[in-house]
Amino acid sequence: MAIAKAERLMNLALCLLGTRRPLSKRELRDSIEAYVEAFGPGNGTTGSDDSFNRMFERDKDDLRELGLVIETVESLDGEIGYMARRDSNRLPPITLDAEEAAALGLAAKVWQQARLAGAASGALQKLRAAGLPEDVDPYGSHGALEPRIPVHEAAFEPLMLACRDRRPVAFDYRKATAAHPEQRHVEPWALECWRGHWYLAGWDRDRGAERVFRLSRITGKVRSRGGRYTADVPDVVTVRETVASWAGEVADRSARIRLRAGAGYPLRAKATSVRELGDGWDELEIPYGHGLDAWLVEFGPDVVVLEPAELRADVVDRLRAVAKG
């Protein structure tokens, strides 16, 4: 839902809930800023009245669909008024058992950084008021583990807001194989955390294709851009699947590499076999798919590809590109 419409519906709901008597369409039109800005005061102009009536009826139907009980009352002089009685729109008491309260408390505790920290803290206080006892451990039997979703990148907050508001952005981005960043113009879709790193999925306007960006590679500020999205936002955004393919998680082949002893733990975790070679080197066999070459380049001189030949060539080409930059 667009931010402007959501704000208009919220203001209409507050007016209907806050009044002690039914309000006419004219009174609501003159009381809600969005209606005044769009149509002016209720001065009887036929064109603006018709447009306002259509919008008001849609807004009223949307609020009813969201669950607000709106009463229609006819006054003695025949004028129709609207109101939403508080007793008819009061939510039932919230009851949580120990497991539900602990699960929600755990979710509220996850966010400890950036803009969401304050909201999470407030949510936890509301959960306490709604039934989460002070003596309930939100971590259950794993009290020694305190979950976190790390947010160290300065780009996270502006991109989170841009995703929410459906607002195009621009930023400088340095690929793993590039020595210098280049500007990207993106329609952001979704942010997702995968193995301790944040990624943005969106539509790259310059390339005319879907792309995924690692936030730690964004340099400088994220800048907002005007205008609407030019590409449809998919119902399902597969951030993790895309990143997994980069890292060779979708494996259909096997690679053999030499890895410096004590280096490359993520590669060791993926290896199906590890053999000590001596002189400070190990030999690993790793299942891989598309994108492993870009990942191996990040380990620099600690990795040497033995086979297959095409993977070795791809890694060498990427290293040469970085050296030339």
User: Which neighbouring-strand residues pair with 203?
Assistant: 187, 210
Confidence grade of residue 94 (pLDDT, cut at 50, 70, 90): low
305 pLDDT exceeds 90?
Answer: yes
pTM: 0.45
Q: Evaluate whether 190 touches 203 at the Cβ level (below 8 Å).
A: no
Q: Across the chain, what does the average pLDDT equal?
A: 80
Q: How many CA atoms lie within 13 A of 286 on its CB side?
A: 33
pLDDT of residue 144: 46
pLDDT of residue 142: 44
**Residues 74-82, mean pLDDT to the nearest whole number:** 84
Q: What is the pLDDT of residues 1-12, one digit of tens each?
A: 456 788 889 999
How far is Cα 13 from Cα 59, in angstroms, rounded to an integer?
A: 10
How far is Cα 96 from Cα 77, in angstroms, rounded to an integer?
A: 49
Q: What is the pLDDT of residues 14-70, one digit of tens each?
A: 999 988 889 999 899 998 988 888 887 765 455 578 889 999 999 999 999 888 999
**Residues 245-262, mean pLDDT to the nearest whole number:** 76
Tell the burial category of 36 from Cβ atoms under 10 Å away from its Cβ (0-12, 13-18, 19+): middle
Neighbours of 92 (CB within 10 A): 5
pLDDT of residue 143: 47
Structural domains in the chain, CATH included, are 3-88 (1.10.10.10), 92-149 (no CATH), 156-239 (2.30.30), 247-324 (no CATH)
pLDDT of residue 206: 92
Confidence grade of residue 295 (pLDDT, cut at 50, 70, 90): confident
Cβ neighbours of residue 250 closer than 8 Å, sequence gap 6 or more: 241, 244, 289, 290
